[in-house]
Amino acid sequence: MVTDDKTVSRARPDRLKAPSKELVAARGSFRTLLAGNPNYFGNLKKSSYEAILAVESNTWYEELTCIGFNPARRQINATVEIKRASGYGGDLCQAGSREYVRFFVDSGSGWQDAGVAGFEVHDIADTNDCAGAAVKPLTYTVSVRLDEKGDCCFDPVLPRVRAVLAWNQVPSVDPNVPPVWGNVLDASIQLEPENSFWCLIKQLDPLAFEKVKLPLELLESTIKPIKLPPPPPLTVGDLAVAYAPPKDGQKHLVEPHRFGLADLQMAMLSTDVSTDFAEAKSAEWKAAGVDWGKAISDLVNTKGDVGYEELDCLALDPEHDWLVATFAVKRPAGYSGDLCTKGSLEYVAFWADWGDKCEWTYLGTAEVPVHDISSVPADGLHYTALLRHSLDALRRGCADTRPSRIRAVLSWATPPSTTDPDAVPYWGNRLDSHVVIKPGPAIVGPQPIIRSLGSIPVGKLDGVTGLTKADAFFEFSLLPPDSAGRPCPFGLRVAVKGPAFPGWYYRLQVKRLADPPASWTPIKTPLTLEDTTGTVFTPSNPLNSDGFFAYTDENFNAEDILGEWDTTGDELWEVVLELATMPDVAHVVGSVIHRLQLDNTGPEVDINIDSGGNCKDFNAGVLMNGHFVARDEYLGSYSLGTSPFGAPALQLSPTSGSVQTATAPGDTWSLNTAGMQPCGYVLVVWATDRAILNSGGGGHQASKAVGFCVRQPGP
């Protein structure tokens, strides 16, 4: 399919009628209505609550439009369009509201929860840009990382991904529960394959490892780390055979002017290529059964062909400064070889007009490898091209922030122009979108800045207590560390993140608040970083015994990690970042200090039977009682239960709580054993605290059990 050279704008027609006044009012009171009736809008099919106003998967205000995957970074992205001028809880100078996306992955055994990500949205007026185009919809993107690995190159792994968008509400962990405001979208992705001697041996003899009398886990750990060198690209002759028609006289399955693009472009575009080259190539192509002259003619007449791949969505991750372009690979062949070959590259060039002056600025080009995959699904395979681009210098105050234009140009096998934003590729297309840079102070020069500690933005930490504030959230998901808004401490490894200033140096130090100033201790943990292409490496750091590090460019430090602090104890600490022109104390030019409350001790738990003693026999129908302890200064919750069979409903009290018990012997519990199956049981108390562990939540956990037997009373 050949298209014209007009840039596509993803303004999608509305499929719904404008909401009624009742519906608009209900959106404005959304959380209040749900608090009184979780099924107020009728989207919960198995709820005991009666629906009041039926609303399900309404996309009038926001809509999930694309899902894509970047195999190298193992990152799933979802693109969301914000369509209206109001309905989002206030403008950029107000609180606004949030959009959440929950991801699910099905690799053949059903949908598995892959995590939640979110972004903030606001009321933004409907206006036109400098070119006269409407700024709505505004496009946003969010992402999660996928830990699943691919198989060997000859066995493609193509999971299905589901994304559920929900406004102002975290989507259900049930993948089949539709949102009230938002929608559900599915797409197929491709995992990056293995490339090891394990796979080579498996390809030569699929049963080889079954013949070896060693555990498979031992074999894999020994063989898999040995990577094979990348395969060479296939020649035109190889591809002519691979794409040969099934019968004589039919056209190639893939056009010669596509699979021979590299040769054709070299002949057409290079000024230093002699006529001998063209003659030699013509002869080589003829030997392969391909017409050189016709291929050149066909290529000249090809412009913006989207029959093989097409750019579908373009968006900005305003929380983390990523530009993301999502494209679909549509065919099983035409990408220069399968996953066991080098394949080919899809290039995406990114442009921006941040000031809305109708002046495009080239930002950079991203690459995504693609291959022939015979089992490509009917809806294609969906990929994302990623470009990290710091927006710190472009930020403005909330009253001065306006939508900006961005553009992406997709081109197969050859990079798009870096000087002409209007140039049309042979294969691929252009796409424009409107985005909003997150408001904030502009950063125009090196400054000592810590953005987050333990994945919590420092603005959401109490400067006195070092605990999280009531409105705190994790920087990627926007989920609260505690659903009740209670203060949370930190434990184990704390990631320190902030912007980079290449050419400058920094040092991170820590000390207990109660210790004297001379007690500062440098954080010297060597950093393991990941660049924007997914490559993991360990830079030479720290630079010296004083603990100074060199700032790493953002393209080589995609997560903005400045340091990793392995914490101990349960005291209040201070963290200082020092900025320096040279890696020594004499050249420190500024610093910033934040406090952090640590908690590396788990909850205290205990449980005992008072009526008859521990580990005794009880006749069914007896009322048992005792005491239990679940204590922690930062208790999250506790629960009680019996195993191997749960107690009948309402016969065990309490079953859970979120306030710590009294000191030992603790609070009372009771268990009515009526109807319990005769058996040996344990009564268990579980407790977890609110500590943010390893910069990702979770909390310390502890449990204690006491045994007893329930017997059938005799006649």
pLDDT in tens, 410-429: 999 999 999 999 999 999 99
With pLDDT > 90 as the criterion, what percentage of the chain qualifies? 80
How confident is the prediction for the chain on average, in pLDDT? 91
Residue type for 374, please? S
The reported pLDDT for the residue numbered 458 is 97
Global pTM reads 0.91
The DSSP H or E segment spanning 704 is strand 701-711
Residue 630: DSSP 8-state: E
Q: To 5 degrees, how large is the angle CA 701–CA 706–CA 707?
A: 135
Residue 129 has pLDDT above 80, yes or no: yes
Cβ contacts of 360 within 8 Å, gap of 6 or more: 351, 352, 353, 407, 421
User: Quick one: average pLDDT of 538-551?
Assistant: 90
Q: What is the pLDDT of residue 250?
A: 61
pLDDT of residue 12: 64
From 67-71, 220-224, 348-352, 374-378, the region with the lowest mean pLDDT: 220-224
Question: pLDDT at position 533, please?
Answer: 87
Q: Is the pLDDT of residue 446 over 60?
A: yes
- Give the max Cα distance, the chain: 108
Q: What is the predicted pLDDT for the residue at 205? A: 61
- pLDDT over 50 (residue 6): no
The string of pLDDT tens digits covering residues 295-344 is 999 999 999 999 999 999 999 999 889 999 999 999 999 999 999 899 99
Query: What are the Cα distances from residue 48, in Å, to 8, 37, 40, 172?
Result: 47, 10, 11, 17
Q: Which pLDDT score is estimated for 268?
A: 81
Q: Is 51 exposed, middle or buried (0-12, 13-18, 19+ CB in 10 A)?
A: middle
The secondary element (H helix, E strand) that includes residue 311 is strand 309-317
Instruction: Give the confidence band of 472 by pLDDT, cuts at 50, 70, 90.
Output: very high
Per-residue pLDDT tens over the stretch 46-74 = 889 999 999 999 999 999 999 999 999 99
Q: Which domains does the chain have, with CATH numbers?
A: 8-192+311-336+345-435 (no CATH), 236-300 (no CATH), 452-597 (no CATH), 604-711 (2.60.40.10)
Question: Which string of DSSP letters, residue by residue, matches 460-491?
Answer: GB-TTT-SBPTT---TTT---SSTT-----EE
Confidence category of residue 276, pLDDT binned at 50, 70, 90: confident
- Taken as a whole, the chain contains a residue count of 715
Question: Hey, is 300 helix, strand or coil?
Answer: helix
Average pLDDT over residues 360-377: 96
E strand or H helix at 276, and its extent?
helix 275-287
